[in-house]
Amino acid sequence: MTDQYTPKLTKPDSEWRSQLNDLEYRVLRQSGTEAPFTGEYTDTETEGVYECRACGAELFRSGEKFHSNCGWPSFFAPLAEDRVRYIEDRSLPGRPRVEVRCATCDSHLGHVFEGEGYDTPTDLRYCINSVSMKLRPTS
């Protein structure tokens, strides 16, 4: 968990608002969540790299994506640990979570959960909003 953090990329709020549509802004800059089963990447199996929609930083690879049936794209690991950062999230009473943010621009991506029993190489599920990412196909 990180307490003090300065993003590598900063922009004034007005620039983020002009760059992102309303939903992108609400999720990426205000830690919102898109509705489950509505995102364009929930069931996508296209090979490629998922980038931060706000800054273009590479975050996840399709090889780490799996079907969790939770309503959002799920990954068992980020591309590299230095691509994301983690923040304790106590916004839901009685249910502490770990928020996942882009390490480059500090945009909200989603949450990571542990110990859910998925048959993956890690015991983690990165539950990421589709609207927080762009998929760059490998072919």
* Tokens describing residue 37: 């089963």
Residue 127: active-site member? yes
Q: Considering the candidates 52, 102, 105, 127, report the single residue annotated as catalytic.
A: 127
Surface-to-core class of residue 78, CB atoms within 10 Å of its CB (0-12 exposed, 13-18 middle, 19+ buried): buried
Residue 17 main-chain phi, psi, to 5 deg:
-65, -35
- Residues forming the active site: 127
